[in-house]
Amino acid sequence: MHGIVSLLDDEHYALVEDIWAQLEKEFGVHGLYTTPFPHFSYQVAGGYDVEAVGDYLQELTQNMRPFQIRTAGLGVFTLSKPVLYIPIVRSPELSRLHQQLWDGLTGKATDAAGYYDPGMWMPHITLAHGDIDRDKLAEIVRAMSGCNFHWQATVNNLSLIYDTGTKQGLRCRYNFDNGE
């Protein structure tokens, strides 16, 4: 799958990388490295018209200013293979950007995942997925329950992550130009 995302700011990017390293060292969890960029997603799709998406993201970010997001605690998506994540609090500004992206990407994406639809979207930063069994999940949550996941981070880019079939890579990144 491919995705339209915001990469985390430098401080929180490093924090997530440290958490990933800890999870691998202490619990053998390494499925998260299939998407090796700490980020949160606005839309995930089977494919994109890369040129059209690049043009759209570049135009959109030209007058955008960085803004703050807040996170709160830990969450779990309960699937056959659970996903551990840090929830992002949906603010009006974040929701407006998400809606604008969703609307602007219509016709540029194929097979967009419905759980990123504005009515269902739960912004989050993935900490672990793919290789967590339920017993391991309980141990991980217990170990991480003392950590502070109440962060304030700066959103300053929109990016396209693409999937090669074996790993994911960064296709393009457009930084907000601060509206100046």
State the average pLDDT for the chain.
91
3-class DSSP state for residue 45? strand
pLDDT of residue 180: 47
* Position 88 in a domain: yes
- Structural domain range at position 95: 2-175
What single-letter amino acid sits at 46? G
pLDDT of residue 50: 93
As for how many domains the chain has, the answer is: 1
Length reported for the chain: 180
- Inform me whether the pLDDT recorded for 167 exceeds 90: no
3-class DSSP state for residue 155? strand
- Inform me whether the pLDDT recorded for 33 exceeds 60: no
* Position 137 in a domain: yes
CATH classification of the domain holding 74 = 3.90.1140.10
* Position 78 in a domain: yes
Tens-place pLDDT, residues 15-32? 999 999 999 999 988 765
Token digits for 17?
A: 């990388």
* Position 180 in a domain: no
Tens-place pLDDT, residues 86-138? 999 999 999 999 999 999 998 999 999 999 999 999 999 999 887 887 788 88
Tens-place pLDDT, residues 60-87? 999 999 999 999 999 999 878 888 999 9
C-alpha to C-alpha distance for 80 and 164, rounded to whole angstroms = 24
C-alpha to C-alpha distance for 2 and 112, rounded to whole angstroms = 9
C-alpha to C-alpha distance for 133 and 148, rounded to whole angstroms = 24
- Inform me whether the pLDDT recorded for 37 exceeds 50: yes
C-alpha to C-alpha distance for 111 and 113, rounded to whole angstroms = 6
* Position 127 in a domain: yes
